[in-house]
Chain A
């Protein structure tokens, strides 16, 4: 079956602009996660959704970052007033169960802020 998909695959924007990153999880997976991976580092947790609600948003670095999952499937990560330090690969993962260590990752969106 189809895996986790993320769009766009690459995004180049200018400092101060607003961006939206989309994640389509595996059908039927109730848990959805966002991570951020900087060059040469492991993924860093941002936010976790169980269904439509954000069960844990403790990893969001500041209030410029926001994510939604209004129908419990597709999720959008939104970044306002982008900064050069936001440049990274943004990874989405899903799992069929609540809070699982077995997560299925998408290919990521490579964000470059100029």
Chain B
């Protein structure tokens, strides 16, 4: 079993839709849950992160973590064509030296 599992998609939705992206993980030592966004032929960029369980909102984006079920979600409201990218979840534990990435979900928002 991989340390981080992510639905690979691809996912294609119309503009304005609510998007739900999800990951599961196996290592209970993870404390920070990062979401990176990667545009085509670019490096990943940090979108947002949460610490421990709970929700965090940043504009149209909401990150949610349930540590009891080891489940991570990212919701995008009022999706825009500019949101079309690959979204990578990457849990991280303090003291760890590396990010452990999921496979990435390729998202396309159709105008």
Q: Nearest chain-B residue to A44 (Cβ)?
A: B101
Residue contact A59 to B43, C-beta cutoff 8 Å: no
Residue contact B88 to A43, C-beta cutoff 8 Å: yes
Residue contact A108 to B34, C-beta cutoff 8 Å: no
> How far is it, in angstroms, between the C-alpha of A33 and the C-alpha of B101 when the chains are bound?
14
Instruction: Specify which chain A residues have a CB less than 8 angstroms from the CB of B44 in the assembled complex.
Output: 43, 91, 105
Query: Which of chain A's residues 76-114 have a Cβ closer than 8 Å to chain B?
Result: 91, 93, 99, 101-108
> B99 at interface (Cβ–Cβ under 8 A)?
yes
Beyond A59-B98, A99-B97, whether A42 also contacts B43 by CB under 8 A is: no
> How far is it, in angstroms, between the C-alpha of A104 and the C-alpha of B101 when the chains are bound?
15
Beyond A48-B97, A56-B97, whether A42 also contacts B6 by CB under 8 A is: yes
Beyond A56-B97, A99-B96, A101-B32, whether A40 also contacts B46 by CB under 8 A is: no
User: What interface size band does chain B fall in?
Assistant: 20 to 34
Residue contact A105 to B98, C-beta cutoff 8 Å: no
Residue contact A42 to B88, C-beta cutoff 8 Å: yes
> How far is it, in angstroms, between the C-alpha of A65 and the C-alpha of B90 when the chains are bound?
24
Cβ-neighbour of A99 out of B42, B88, B95, B102 (below 8 A): B95
A interface with B by C-beta (< 8 Å): 4, 33, 35, 40-45, 48, 55-56, 59, 91, 93, 99, 101-108
B interface with A by C-beta (< 8 Å): 4, 6, 8, 32, 34, 36, 41-46, 49, 88, 90, 92, 94-104
